[in-house]
Amino acid sequence: MQILSAKQNHIVLFGILIGFALSFSNCFKQNERSKEFLQKEVSALNSLDEKRSYLENVLHSIQEIEYEREVMELGELPDDKEIIAYQEKRAKLQMENMIIIEAYFENFGYPSRPELGQYVALAPFAVVYYSDNTEDIKEEHFRYFYGAYKFNDIPESFFLDYLSSYYRMKTGKQYPVQPKESIDYNIHQIFDALSIDY
């Protein structure tokens, strides 16, 4: 068996380290998921099955991050590093999911409940509802959620939740929902307050 010289050993070790570095770099790039990458990924969805599966993954990602939060709250008090790591992970996920939903709106409109199912049709609502960023309630999104309400893609109660947040974004005030009145009544009260035609 040939014994490698010290110089040869260094060359081999250096090659291994470069391989690890390149592998790590590729993994990092794959995990980074830039805005452009996500937009292209969404626009490439062709079939209903592809759209359904993709939006299901968005919902699963929200469920997982919320479950992780619950585990942290119910378990032992996490240290500062764990809290910061979780917050960064949560913020990154919410940003990515918002990019995905905006790209989906631009390419396909609001997910159709008859075509994709009731669960998947809730994906855009879930992204906005669980977001910690109040700026995720955007003017340009309203027409998609309003259309989803009109075409029964989301339940009235969910649309009222969204509309209440939209009202707060527009006015800076919390809409006083009247629980004794119907959901439909409250929705149309907000429409009237915001001068929205319906």
**How do residues 33-75 score in pLDDT, each as one tens digit?**
799 999 999 999 999 999 999 999 999 999 999 999 888 888 7
Instruction: Report the pLDDT averaged over residues 158-164.
Output: 95
- Judge contact between 136 and 114, C-beta under 8 A: no
Do residues 153 and 112 make contact, with C-beta atoms less than 8 angstroms apart? Answer: yes
Residue 15 has pLDDT above 50, yes or no: no
Q: Is residue 50 part of a domain?
A: yes
Q: Residue 95 sits in which domain range?
A: 36-123
How far, in Å, CA of 175 to CA of 186, rounded?
9
Indicate the number of domains in the chain: 1
Q: Find, among 125, 127, 195, 188, the residue nearest to 161 by Cα.
A: 125
Residue scoring higher pLDDT (169 or 2):
169
Q: Are 95 and 129 in contact (CB under 8 A)?
A: no
How high is the pLDDT of residue 53? 97
Q: What is the pLDDT of residue 136?
A: 75
pLDDT by residue (tens digit) across 77-113? Answer: 778 888 899 999 999 999 999 999 999 999 999 999 9
**Residue 9 belongs to a domain:** no
Full-model pTM: 0.78
Task: Tell how far CA 28 is from the center of its chain.
Answer: 20
Residue 186 belongs to a domain: no
